A and B are shown apart, each in its own frame.
Chain A
Amino acid sequence: MTIEQMMAELNERIAWFQGDDFNLDEAKQKFIEARELSKKITATLEDMRHDIEVLSENFNAE
């Protein structure tokens, strides 16, 4: 799952808390799941490193 997908999923989960489907019976479990996902995103963000590839192509050539 990419960061973008994880963020989208978290947004969806958080939106549930402000939506019409919200109910206290499910809220606790949903909150735990959202918190776990948030922790996963945070860990992924902190671990991410860039990968840099400098092309060997000669852009001087016609």
Chain B
Amino acid sequence: MIPRFSVSNFIAIVNQTFDVAFAGMVEVEGEVSSFKSYPPKYAFFDLKDDDGLVRCFVGFSNLRTPIEDGMKVVVRAMPNLRDNGGFSLNIQEIRPLGKGSLKRSFDLLRQKLTVEGLFNSERKRPLPQYPQRVAIISSTKAAGYADFMKISSERWGGVKFVVADVNVQGANAANQAVRAISYFNQMSESPDVIVLIRGGGSAEDLASFNDEKLVRAVASSRIPTMTGIGHEIDESLCDLAADVRAATPSNAAQLLFPDKREVIRHLHYRLIDAKDSICRAIEEQSLNATMLQKEALKQWSSRVDAAVNAILSQQKVIAEYDPEMALRRGYAMIKGDLQIGNIVEITTKDIIMKARIENSEQRYDN
């Protein structure tokens, strides 16, 4: 028997059939055309390929990446037959497809967020030198996560890692990361840093890190953020919004943690420096003592010289008074009572003789 419905019942049955057929959700890929947006509420566009076209409706909160006509996209949506008979896809998520569309979307969002100042260097905060609590947003099954943990363990220790195990690509990856950032920001015991980790992949694999809501969540996180996404050449908008961008997950561990072997080496060198300071001080003081000793010796020596000179000149003076010196110069010495008729003793340099005084007279008139 052919079923018969009222119009509204028919519409309800069709929508239920969609629900059953697609478990509520379907992914459709195609090219965007006739894109019209009515910010901040919603946008409409057609999704088409060579042989068909379907109308799409998207609320602004689900429009997380810039879309324009000509872009190839994949939408995750609920098919919906509306009360007025119109059919549309109610979009929950929309992702650009293919290198060209991804690049265009990336450039448009980058331009928009740059104008807003989201990537300004003044916004960047330094990370702690020795982080003790580190929040990780990654997939615990991903190679990038394993690399990060391996390098972290080699370099440092004693860190409490709190890991949000999320999808790092595909549908809902960005939403999960946004919720994880919010979760960490509300923790009673805040982590010192939040690190987004994801190993290498294709541009489409990494596209969730260019999601506008996620980029804004990274930029507005109260807790400093770091990214270690993809390879060195990959640059995501999350990288630009984060406080610190590491080139890879391994590099994130290198930037986040000091290498304990280097720290130990550095400690050793610092102790050597301290030891050198002591040796230098001993050397300086020893040199100083030697110089003082030399100076004292010099002073003593100069005083001895002065004393010797003084003695020598005293000796000269004394020598001048020696009668023998006068005798040597040809003078004679007379001893006795110098009265006329008396005999006196005359001593010269070589002989002693006796003589009688026959006459005497004053030499000067006094």
Are A and B physically bound partners? yes
A residues at B contact (CB < 8 Å): 2-4, 7, 10, 14, 17-18, 22, 24, 27-28, 31, 34-35, 38, 41-42, 44-55, 57, 59-61
Known: A34-B271, A41-B267. A53 touches B161 (CB 8 A): yes
Q: Are A55 and B260 in contact (CB under 8 A)?
A: no
Contact B270 A10 (CB under 8 A): yes
B176 at the interface (CB under 8 A from A): yes
Assembly CA distance A46 to B154 (angstroms):
10
CB-CB nearest 3 A-B residue pairs: A48-B157, A48-B158, A17-B277
Are B278 and A24 in contact, CB atoms less than 8 angstroms apart? yes
A5: nearest residue on chain B (CB-CB)? B130
Contact A10 B281 (CB under 8 A): no
Tell me if B311 is interfacial: C-beta within 8 Å of chain A.
no
Do A31 and B278 touch (CB < 8 A)? Answer: yes
Q: Is the CB of A59 within 8 A of B264?
A: no
Given contacts A31-B275, A49-B158, A59-B180, contact A42 B264 (CB under 8 A): yes
B75 to chain A, nearest CB (A): 19
Q: Which residues of B are found within 8 Å of A28, using beta-carbon distances?
A: 278
Cβ–Cβ contact B166 & A17, under 8 A: no
Residues of chain A with a CB closer than 8 A to B156's CB: 48, 50
Q: Which of these, A2, A38, A45, contacts B157 with CB under 8 Å?
A: A45
- Are B267 and A52 in contact, CB atoms less than 8 angstroms apart? no
In the bound complex, residues from chain A placing their C-beta under 8 Å from that of B275 are: 31
- In whole angstroms, what is the CA distance A2 to B116 when docked? 40
| Contact status of A60 and B273, CB under 8 A, knowing A4-B130, A22-B281, A45-B263 | no
* 18 A-B pairs (CB sep. < 8 Å): A3-B158, A4-B130, A24-B281, A27-B278, A31-B271, A41-B264, A41-B267, A42-B267, A47-B157, A48-B156, A49-B157, A50-B153, A50-B161, A55-B163, A55-B165, A59-B166, A59-B175, A60-B176
Residue of A with least CB distance to B187: A55
Asked whether A4 lies within 8 Å of B129 as measured between CB atoms, the reply is: yes
- Chain B residues contacting A60 (CB-CB under 8 Å) are 172, 175-176
Cβ-defined contact, A10 with B278, below 8 A: no
Contact B132 A38 (CB under 8 A): no
Q: How many residues of B contact A (CB 8 A)?
A: 40
Q: Do the beta carbons of B281 and A27 come within 8 Å of each other?
A: yes
Q: Is B321 engaged at the interface, CB distance under 8 Å to the other chain?
A: no
Given A24-B278, A50-B161, A54-B140: 7 more A-B contacts, CB < 8 Å: A14-B274, A22-B277, A31-B275, A38-B267, A45-B157, A55-B162, A59-B180
Interface residue ranges of B283-331 to A (CB < 8 Å): 285
* C-alpha gap A45/B162 in the complex (Å): 21
Let me know if B159 and A54 touch, CB within 8 A. Answer: no
User: Which residues of A sit under 8 angstroms from B260, Cβ to Cβ?
Assistant: 45-46, 48
Q: How far is the CB of A48 from chain B (nearest CB, A)?
A: 3
Contacts of B175 in A (CB 8 A): 59-60
Evaluate contact between A50 and B157: CB separation under 8 angstroms: yes
Q: Provide the bound-state CA to CA distance between A59 and B99, in Å.
A: 29
Q: What sequence of 0s and 1s flags, for each residue 147-181 of chain B, a beta carbon within 8 Å of any chain A beta carbon?
A: 00100110011111111111000001001110110
Given A46-B260, A53-B160, is A2 in contact with B130 using a C-beta cutoff of 8 Å?
yes
